[in-house]
Amino acid sequence: MFTDTHLDGFRRDGCAVITDFISPEQVATLRQRIDELLRSFDPENHPLTTFATGQSQQQQPDMHIGDEYFFESADKTSFFLEEGAIDSSSGRLTVDAPRAINKIGHGLHLTEPVFAQLTHSVQVKDIARKLEYKDPRVLQSMVICKQPGIGGAVPWHQDSTFLFTQPLSACGFWLALEDCTLDNGCLEYIPGSHLTTPVTRRFVRKQDNSGTEMVSIAPDDAEMEGVGGNGVPIEVAAGSLVLINGQVLHRSSHNYSAKSRWIYTFHIVEGAAEYDQRNWLQMPAGAELTKL
């Protein structure tokens, strides 16, 4: 249950943890479906699109994430690979296909019944109501696997950089499907940074749709590298929900452990806020963001 204590903490810190948000039986059901999806992945009929989030992505911001497969994922079940899962010289997988997957998304709330049911649950709607959303819309639903040994680091960022609205309105729902610790790359965040760190950049499609780029939207734009220091780890048990304000600084480290870190996450934005065509994630022509 999302209590007033949770709400006060979320407003103060930019994150809130709700333990036992779903039951062990619900966790098992979601994990079973993820396992089925992973085993269904066929690398021979896939563009082998990786998802770069670490140092290589900072050095080459257009790397691997400007192709049609990525752009058309808003309403689909799409597979994106760990950077460390592909041999750079041969282009072949270096691990078994199921272990190569970084994430599955970005339209699981539309394509997968068990994830749709959770996303549109009474508990989620109650949280959105208490956060004072008038017309919450769902987008970017995905499973992130954080594979053992090769699960890539995600540097400091703000979700509103990637899901930009005017006014800002993004909120992340991050559900642990395994115990998440520092060893396997749990979330880390800077408490209160949503109140002190403005969103100064946007991750957008290039005008010719040839790729993506990070663009400045403020004169005091600064690189995020090192901005957050060490951060506060959010170590949670399976079944816990972490709420993430779209402006709060957060990251996760590389998973060097022998254990995966499966989570399901989706975001909501305010339907009355402007979500323009520059955003990288777009629904197909004629479709709108999904009502919660």
Q: Per-residue pLDDT tens for 121-161?
A: 999 999 999 999 999 999 999 999 999 999 999 999 999 99
> Within a 13 Å sphere around the CA of 144, how many CA atoms are in the beta-carbon half?
26
Residue 51 binned pLDDT confidence (cut-offs 50, 70, 90): low
The β-bridge partners of 78 are 105
DSSP track, 98-158 = GGGEEEEEEBHHHH-HHHHHHHT-HHHHHHHHHTT-SSEEEEEEEEE---TTTB--EEEE-
Residue 230 binned pLDDT confidence (cut-offs 50, 70, 90): confident
What are phi and psi for residue 45, nearest 5 degrees? -120, 45
Structure confidence at residue 221 (pLDDT) = 56
Q: Per-residue pLDDT tens for 8-26?
A: 999 999 999 999 999 999 9
| Mean pLDDT of the residues in the chain | 91
Look at residue 70 and tell me whether its pLDDT is greater than 70. yes
DSSP track, 13-73 = HSEEEETTSS-HHHHHHHHHHHHHHHHH--GGGS---B---SHHHHHSTTTT--SHHHHT-
Give the separation between CA 51 and CA 208, rounded to whole angstroms.
21
- The residues near 61 (Cβ < 8 Å, ≥ 6 apart) are 212, 213, 214
Residue 228 binned pLDDT confidence (cut-offs 50, 70, 90): low
Helix, strand or coil, per DSSP, at residue 196: helix
Give the separation between CA 253 and CA 234, rounded to whole angstroms.
12
Structure confidence at residue 62 (pLDDT) = 42
Structure confidence at residue 66 (pLDDT) = 53
Residue labelled with tokens 């994106």: 80
- The residues near 184 (Cβ < 8 Å, ≥ 6 apart) are 146, 148, 151, 178, 255, 257, 259, 260, 261
Give the separation between CA 128 and CA 135, rounded to whole angstroms.
9
Task: Give the pLDDT mean for 245-273.
Answer: 97
Structure confidence at residue 134 (pLDDT) = 98
Q: Per-residue pLDDT tens for 168-202?
A: 999 999 999 999 999 999 999 999 999 999 999 99
Helix, strand or coil, per DSSP, at residue 162: helix
Find out whether 109 and 138 touch, Cβ atoms under 8 Å: yes
Find out whether 222 and 287 touch, Cβ atoms under 8 Å: no
Residue 80 binned pLDDT confidence (cut-offs 50, 70, 90): very high
pTM to 2 decimals?
0.92
Residue 227 binned pLDDT confidence (cut-offs 50, 70, 90): low
